[in-house]
Amino acid sequence: MVYGDVEVQFVQKGNEKLKILSQGMETDIDVAPRITKTYDAVNDETTVYSEKTALFVEPKNTVADKYGVAIDIGTTTLVASLINLNDGCELAVASGLNPQARYAQDVLSRIKLGSQPEGLNTLHGELIRELNRLIADVADSAHISVSSIYEAIFSGNTTMLHLSTHTDPASLGKYPYRPVIRGNLYFEAASIGLAIANNGAVYVPPVMSAYVGADITSGILVTGLTHQNGTTLFVDIGTNGEMVLAVNGVLTATSTAAGPAFEGMNISCGMRAGSGAVESVVINDGNITLETIGDIAPSGICGSGLLDAVGELSAHGYIDKNGRFITKGNDDKFRIQDEKAVFCLAENVYLSQKDIRQVQLAKAAVRAGIETMLTTNGIRANQVDSVLIAGSFGYHLKATSLFNIGLLPRDFEGRVKFVGNTSKSGARAFLVNNPVRDEAAKWVKSVRVIELADDPQFEKTFIGALSF
């Protein structure tokens, strides 16, 4: 029974209409997988090896049937890619939502829930069930058996890696924030419930800290930051803002909590990137032009549309530098909703003052992280040669929106490149080339990690980054 006011949110069921990016920047890499096979013609059987260790024997010649899955485990979304280990080619890809979000939206709340045995069982079990569904989907699409998938790569933030391997994440939520899983580790797939081949393994790439995980390690690998000349900034924008500054191959990394606003959560008309979501907003001479996913009537606004909208409001004088609505002279664009002014994008889609504040907090967190990392390295914004924006959410953004809201400094104009889902493409690189695993484990140890909570200037920088 309900005895008070309740707020009900309708969550879309099924993932087929969601817009989840599965592609990211790739790198040229030799095909040298950990899994190999040899055929014995005399006995008409094939032996499967993991490096030099024989796993089992299969009847007939199955040398051509050798597969792995590269899996991006995001806080919000999941992507599974089926890879032919003989040539490194992608055969099929499937994506969906991370079901853990039904129980806890962000990383910190999942750490809290996962620190209790029952909560850990729930978060792990829900995630593995969804991963098994995605693996079955890609296997079915490629007309192969899951028993021919011998290895999986889990690429994700450090919290996701703990939860996916049924590891207590409690240490991630309390000082000194030390992860139990440091990566460059193998797990028996069966021990964590992953439905691939008997004796199949799960590899977890190395992580840099409690809040800079294997997804960023994957990004560094495919973008080649460790051997680039000049100064490059890599930023993965999502519920967490994880970033790496590379100065002639020397790396500094940090992470800041952006919150769920960029995913359309905690926004009045916010929604996932599904059919009907406003994903692009342009204001020209007072006229508003919207683009929606599926080219249908707008039913809400997703993250990319949200940043577009706030950027346009800032650029065209509908909000001031402090984020307050400027209603005077703009009466035709505002209406009263629950006794407060809201900006109307469409008949049933609007932005409230609270929504603007949510964007302010999220973008200030990322901008402050960038500024702190630059300052720590004695680098000015105009000295940055290239800015790489990674992640599914980041790929759908416009550079102009990032500048208009102040998430990126104007000095970066003309230097921004969107590199897509590098967590997934990096997982693929780890899958098809075994030697890069130990190489990455070595250079990860040399990365300087800045803990923003310990930086005495971060709060001041954050407050300064709130303005548009």
Do the strands 53-59 and 45-50 form a parallel or antiparallel pair, or are they unpaired?
antiparallel
Residue 234 dihedral angles phi and psi, to the nearest 5°: -110, 125
pLDDT score, position 3 = 58
How many Cα atoms within 13 Å fall on the side-chain side of residue 219?
Answer: 34
The one-letter amino acid code at 450 reads I
Tell me the two tokens of residue 202.
């799960």
Do residues 155 and 72 lie in contact, with contact meaning Cβ atoms separated by under 8 Å?
A: yes
**How high is the pLDDT of residue 2?**
54
How many whole angstroms from its chain centre is CA 465?
Answer: 23
Per-residue model confidence (pLDDT) at position 11: 43
Confidence at residue 7, expressed as pLDDT on a 0 to 100 scale: 55
Distances (CA, A) of 20 to 15, 106, 446: 9, 18, 33
Helix/strand/coil for 255 = strand
pTM of the model: 0.90
Tell me the sheet residues that pair with 389. 235, 418
Q: pLDDT tens string for the chain (468 positions)?
A: 455 565 554 444 334 355 455 566 677 789 999 999 999 999 999 999 999 999 999 999 999 999 999 999 998 889 999 999 999 999 999 999 999 999 998 899 999 999 999 999 999 999 999 999 999 999 999 999 999 999 999 999 999 999 999 999 999 999 999 999 999 999 999 999 999 998 999 999 999 999 999 999 999 999 999 999 999 999 998 888 999 999 999 999 999 988 778 877 889 999 988 899 999 999 999 899 999 999 999 999 998 999 999 999 999 999 999 999 999 888 889 999 989 999 999 989 999 999 999 999 999 999 999 999 999 999 999 999 999 999 877 667 889 999 999 999 999 999 999 999 999 999 999 999 999 999 999 999 999 999 998 888 999 999 999 998
Residues in contact with 381: Cβ distance below 8 Å, sequence separation at least 6, in sequence order: 374, 409, 411, 412
Q: Of all helices (H) and strands (E), which one includes residue 402?
A: helix 399-404
User: For the purposes of burial, counting CB atoms within 10 Å of the CB of 441, is it exposed (0-12), middle (13-18) or buried (19 or more)?
Assistant: middle
Task: Answer positive or negative: Cα dihedral of 310, 311, 312, 315.
Answer: positive
Which among 136, 148, 28 has a CA at the least distance from the CA of 86? 148
CB count within 10 Å of CB 466 equals 18
Question: What pLDDT, on the 0 to 100 scale, is given for residue 1?
Answer: 46
User: Could you tell me whether strands 201-204 and 149-156 are parallel, antiparallel, or unpaired per DSSP bridges?
Assistant: parallel
pLDDT at residue 259 in the model: 78
In the chain, the amino acid numbered 5 is D
Q: For residue 438, with 0-12 CB atoms within 10 Å meaning exposed, 13-18 middle and 19 or more buried, which class applies? A: exposed
3-state secondary structure of 288: strand
203 membership: H or E segment, kind and range? strand 201-204
> How far is 308 from 61, CA to CA, in rounded Å?
55
Q: Rounded to 5 degrees, what are φ and ψ at 59? A: -70, 150
pLDDT of residue 15: 40
pLDDT at 16 (0 to 100) = 39
Would you call 190 helix, strand, or coil by DSSP?
helix
Q: Please give the pLDDT value at position 453.
A: 85
Give me Rg for the CA atoms of the chain.
Answer: 23
On whether the CB atoms of residues 401 and 262 are closer than 8 A, the answer is no
> Residue 240's pLDDT is what?
84
Q: Which of 35, 146, 14 is nearest to 80 (CA)?
A: 146
Q: Where exactly are the structural domains of the chain?
A: 35-216
- 123, two tokens: 């978060």
Instruction: Give me the sign of the Cα torsion angle 117, 119, 122, 126.
Output: negative
The residue to which tokens 């994506």 are assigned: 95
pLDDT of residue 329: 84
CA distance 225 to 423: 14
pLDDT at 12: 41
pLDDT of residue 21: 52
Predicted local distance difference test score (pLDDT) of residue 274 = 86
| Superfamily for domain range 35-216 | Domain of unknown function (DUF4445) (3.30.420.480)
CA pair distance 56, 48, nearest whole angstrom: 6
What is d(CA 91, CA 148) in angstroms, rounded to the nearest whole number?
Answer: 13
